[in-house]
Amino acid sequence: MKDIKLVVFDFDQTLVDSVKGFDKAFIEIKKEFQQFLDRNGYSIIVEDHSSELKKIMRELDKNREYDRNNWWNPLLKQLKVTELQFTKDECERLTKIYWDVTAENTELFPDTLEILNYLTRKKYQLGLITDNDGGFGLKKIRLAKCPIMKFFNQVVIAGDDVPEKKPHPAAFQKIAALLKVSPKASVMVGDKPFTDILGGKAAGFHTVLVIRDVWEINPTPDFQIHQLLELKSLL
């Protein structure tokens, strides 16, 4: 890629391996569900339904329902609990548990620091675009716990800093405008075709898909890589 001035990254599953954190958070949420059901006289064993609960969670994530407050009652319904629902306060408590555990157990991918240092030495401007975690400010708190934030010239949290989440082009347009770089001189690096690549293309960015999971690759990115260090051959 020629004449690139701005490299923008997604956060979860692009720069940081959140899967371990998500898995640990799921374990804690199952414990909370079990206690809730026990208190209310249900004999349901939550652990026996782990696979179907995980399937629902993946679908919610794929459909860009990132507000975990909106996850817990659908999961309760999946357990065939129709007479009870979590209150708003209970949902918010579960969401806080989920994101606290996720943050505590999130790790950088092995090549994250090396590629960020490389791009910094090459004098690229670096940006970060990430969707919020549901409630306003939650993602900012989680980002503050990550040691790589010092590398970024600008961070845009879609859903907080702009109303629209990815793949709406607003976050991409905002970060390019803030850094005074043309979208044509910008590249988006992310792991999800249906948010990072779709949004990047809509904003006129070049796009690089990091293959981290099995997704339908639509739209097609300009480049596909399996490790962040492969960016060295592109930039």
Which ranges of 81-137 does DSSP label H, i.e. alpha helix?
A: 88-104, 112-121
This prediction's pTM: 0.88
Q: What is the pLDDT along the chain (235 residues), one digit of tens a residue?
A: 889 999 999 999 999 999 899 999 999 999 999 999 999 999 999 999 999 999 999 899 878 787 899 999 999 999 999 899 999 999 999 999 999 999 899 999 999 999 999 999 999 999 999 999 877 788 999 999 899 999 999 999 999 999 999 999 999 999 999 999 999 999 999 999 999 999 999 999 999 999 998 888 889 999 999 999 999 999 9
Question: 138 near 99, Cβ under 8 Å?
Answer: yes
116 and 223 inside one domain: yes
Chain-centre distance for alpha carbon 6? 20
Same domain membership, residue 137 and residue 29 = no
Residues 187, 113: Cα–Cα separation, whole Å: 19
Do 71 and 90 touch, CB atoms closer than 8 A?
no
Residue 38, pLDDT score: 97
Site of tokens 């503050």 = 144
CATH number, domain of 117, equals 3.40.50.1000
Tokens representing 154? 């600008």
One domain for residues 111 and 83: no
Residues 31 and 11 in one domain: no
Residue 11 lies in a domain: yes
- Residue 159: domain span: 6-17+107-233
**Residue 24 and residue 91 in one domain:** yes
Q: Which residues contact 66 (CB under 8 A, 6 or more apart)?
A: 131, 132, 133, 134, 159, 165
Whether residues 133 and 158 fall in one domain: yes
Indicate if 204 and 152 belong to the same structural domain: yes
Q: In terms of domains, do 99 and 113 share one?
A: no
Query: Are 113 and 228 part of one and the same domain?
Result: yes
Q: How many domains does the chain have?
A: 2
